[in-house]
Chain A
Amino acid sequence: MIRYFALGCLFGIVLLKSEAVSWFRIQEMFRFHSFQMYGVIISAVVVAGLSLALLRRAGVSALTGEAIAIPAKTLGKGYRYWIGGTMFGVGWALTGACPGPLFALTGAGLSVYLVAALAAVAGTWAYGYLRPHLPHY
């Protein structure tokens, strides 16, 4: 557990120092005025993708001995991705934060973001409650 906590710490630090937690930067991103956020996301995807290809080729297993496996997602008609994704996008632009930053900002002393984080937990709960009635695939 302590290893995961330590990795989380590093993630929180990177989120703050890349300014990906900043409402101002997210506005800049959605208005296409700066490359910073796109650079962060694109280079992260490239490094993660190359690492995955290497891990697959090398056929290594996790430290726990488990084989490394990345489950593929079902797309279907994609209702859950289109509708849920758009809802999240609106929330991302409103709060200026995705789930990680909500907690990183709370830790950084912008304590009102704790309210946003609790609202996010409530939102997830509401989804869980309504899930049987929502279109998914």
Chain B
Amino acid sequence: MLDALSRPWPWYVAGPVIGLFVPALLLLGNRQFGISSNLRHLCAAVVPGRVDFFRYDWKSQGMWNLAFLAGVLAGGFIAAYALGAGDVVITPETKAILTRLGVHDFSGLAPREIFSWSNLLTLRGLVSIVGGGFLVGFGTAYAGGCTSGHAISGLAALDRASLVAVIAFFAGGLLCTYFILPVIL
């Protein structure tokens, strides 16, 4: 059992478990499954400034979600140290293309050549970590949701706005994969 849990979970196990977060949160307290709202709650809690967008009662609206987010952080820790997070086995096609683009270290969950403290201040480190993180925060706040809020909760509710958002997520991802990564890697 533990052996099966410690190997990577196939999509037909992981996907349905993720889907069940939508009804679980609704049943628990009529809460909408969505992670990116937490970025707004964090701003409201720590640096609201004079920005209207951050002046609301984040404790009553967002404390449950911040508790959920703290759990995600703890869950990452538990999974990595108790269940093991080994190397990710990707398809040879992807590996060949990434090698050609300049990625050589395929150990772990993300390439160390970009995602490590020693590479943070290189061009590709800065663009990927700081630039990428900034766009994740700006884009999800602007679009009003991320993969969990739009792609899972929104599509499950057959919401047309969420469908547009998800199409745009992929358009942005493809744009970056084919036009930005070849330049910065």
Using CB atoms and an 8 Å cutoff, list the residues of chain A in contact with chain B: 1-31, 33-49, 51-52, 54-55, 60-64, 66-75, 78, 80-100, 102-113, 115-129, 131-132, 134
Q: Is the interface of A mostly helix, strand, loop or mixed?
A: helix
Shortest distance in angstroms between B148's beta carbon and chain A's nearest beta carbon? 6
Known contacts: A62-B27, A127-B137. The answer to whether A92 contacts B67 by CB under 8 A is no
A-contacting residues, B124-173, CB 8 Å: 127-144, 146-148, 150-162, 164-173
Which chain B residue has the least Cβ–Cβ distance from A20?
B14
User: Would you call A14 and B164 a contact (CB within 8 A)?
Assistant: no
Query: Complex Cα distance A47/B139, Å?
Result: 27
Chain B interface residue count, CB cutoff 8 Å, equals 126
User: Would you call B139 and A13 a contact (CB within 8 A)?
Assistant: no
Indicate if B58 sits at the interface (CB-CB under 8 A).
no
Known contacts: A40-B14, A47-B16, A90-B172. The answer to whether A116 contacts B129 by CB under 8 A is yes
Query: Complex Cα distance A75/B166, Å?
Result: 13
User: Would you call B134 and A49 a contact (CB within 8 A)?
Assistant: no
- The 4 closest A-B CB pairs, nearest first, are A12-B75, A8-B71, A89-B172, A85-B168
User: Would you call B18 and A11 a contact (CB within 8 A)?
Assistant: yes
Known contacts: A70-B157, A75-B160. The answer to whether A87 contacts B132 by CB under 8 A is no
Among A41, A67, A124, find the residue whose CB has the most chain B CB atoms closer than 10 A.
A124
User: Would you call A90 and B137 a contact (CB within 8 A)?
Assistant: no
Chain B residues, Cβ within 8 Å of A47: 15-16, 18-20
User: Would you call A128 and B141 a contact (CB within 8 A)?
Assistant: yes
Using CB atoms and an 8 Å cutoff, list the residues of chain B in contact with chain A: 5, 8-12, 14-33, 35-36, 38-40, 42-43, 47, 49, 51-54, 63-65, 67-81, 83, 85, 88, 90-91, 93-94, 97-98, 106, 108-111, 114-117, 120, 127-144, 146-148, 150-162, 164-177, 180-181
User: Would you call A62 and B29 a contact (CB within 8 A)?
Assistant: yes
Which chain A residue has the least Cβ–Cβ distance from B54?
A128
- Among A11, A89, A103, A115, point to the contact of B170 (Cβ < 8 A): A89
Among B134, B140, B155, B169, find the residue whose CB has the most chain A CB atoms closer than 10 A.
B134
Chain A residues, Cβ within 8 Å of B154: 73
Known contacts: A34-B91, A90-B173, A93-B177. The answer to whether A5 contacts B134 by CB under 8 A is no
